[in-house]
Structure 1
């Protein structure tokens, strides 16, 4: 039976309440499968509300706690999102990136069959103390870029990068709408080691604005520093909307 016919069968049985709840499967699992089928067939699209708990209780003829458990587990599995007082919605797609290696975001987007685009917000030399500290330098200037990377036109990464001019002297001359900083640097001087940290935190106003995020929405921020030889080559913060991005890795 295909997804559409499964969903139709569930709908038909739901009208008769308890017959829907097969003895071979817990009631909450039946409800989860029904929700997944409706999403898979496109009846409930990303961002759209699903029926309320009260409606599902009536449709399935079960206790509210049974429906609540089904929706709670689907929320934990990132299939749904729930907002107190506002209802339950189909979760938006979550784009995934690996963190065990320094990879090019454009390649990751292309591997998903999607289109990458970039908006260069800033590309300049800086003698700010924060820039020097990021690269462990006593004097500058250093190069500083800020770029927003998009997947199918939707912003998924805000890149704030400091670059060592002694390693990448022509950095400011590059067109990063054509080639990402990662592509350029790997081509010129491949990194020899790296360190990184991942934080969940609220973004600054400018980051939130460029990533088109809601007020109060958290980010996943990946901080990474890389070396070429003995020199720190680059230090970068990569901000991702937590609702649209998932960082994963395997070692």
Structure 2
């Protein structure tokens, strides 16, 4: 005997259907919990659970004192943490793929030597990857790694494992540095991201440490119309 889905799922599916069909466009305010609870004959707690699920999935955003609104569903990353981009994409219910553009050992130029804390012309590992969500590039990752701390880095099959997975497994990350700026893409970057050179991009420069060891320096470029960065801080109860 088939069992019916939980009541909150029915509300969730109803809202998602209205969003995907365009009945509830971006920035549209959805009905309040009280109305959804009355319409579906459930408790307000059940309606709240359905909304929380869609907020977690990135379809809705709560505005305290105003209501709950449909988001633009751009890919999103936290500025305060380092996450596996493949997991982020799959958590949104989308397909993740990756183009491996460069995977090589090179000599560090002035910038890389300075950023990675190695000697000029020292050997470093270099990868360039285009991360895709449902087939569309959302991030170009240009990364340099100190071979001393991750000697097997270039042996990785990056079509199956992200650099984040490799680095975390080899050297648990203890500290990160992020610098974010608006940039325009050069022709090669635009080609890899499949965008027009006039489209603004977000570029995050990230350095990661494991203990006292500076292990990686990366430039992460995102098309401005496909990606957003998020920062969230909790207030401490202490003065």
Whether TM exceeds 0.5 here: the answer is yes
Q: Is the 8 A contact 1:92 1:243 kept in 2?
A: no
Uncovered stretches (5+) of structure 2, i.e. residues with no partner: 1-17, 27-70, 234-239
Runs of 4+ in 1 over 3 A off after TM superposition: 38-46
Aligned match for 1:195, one of 167, 177, 187: 177
Structure 2 distance, partners of 1:105, 1:122, is 18
Aligned to 1:154: 136
Structure 1 distance, partners of 2:155, 2:21, is 48
Matched ranges for 1:55-74 at <5 A = none
Structure 2 distance, partners of 1:238, 1:184, is 17
Q: 1:111 to 1:40 in 2, by over 3 A?
A: closer
Q: Is 1:105–2:85 an aligned residue pair? A: yes
Aligned to 1:170: 152
Aligned length: 170
Q: State the Cα distance separating 1:41 from its structure 2 match.
A: 3.4
Structure 2 distance, partners of 1:119, 1:206, is 14
Structure 2 distance, partners of 1:234, 1:218, is 26
Aligned to 2:107: 127
* C-alpha RMSD over aligned residues: 2.2
Work out which of the two has the higher radius of gyration on C-alpha atoms and give 1 or 2. Answer: 1
SS at match of 2:228: strand
Instruction: Give me the TM-score of the superposition, normalised by structure 1.
Output: 0.63
Q: Is the 8 A contact 1:132 1:142 kept in 2?
A: no
Q: State the Cα distance separating 1:116 from its structure 2 match.
A: 0.7
- CA deviations on 1:163-200 (whole Å, 9 max, x unpaired) are 01011000111111100000111111111111111101
Q: 1:216 to 1:134 in 2, by over 3 A?
A: same
Q: Is the 8 A contact 2:184 2:197 kept in 1?
A: no
SS at match of 1:186: helix
SS at match of 1:223: strand
Q: Is the 8 A contact 1:149 1:155 kept in 2?
A: yes
Structure 1 distance, partners of 2:124, 2:167, is 15
Q: Is the 8 A contact 1:194 1:225 kept in 2?
A: yes
Uncovered stretches (5+) of structure 1, i.e. residues with no partner: 1-37, 47-90
Structure 2 distance, partners of 1:155, 1:45, is 24
Aligned match for 1:136, one of 92, 117, 122: 117
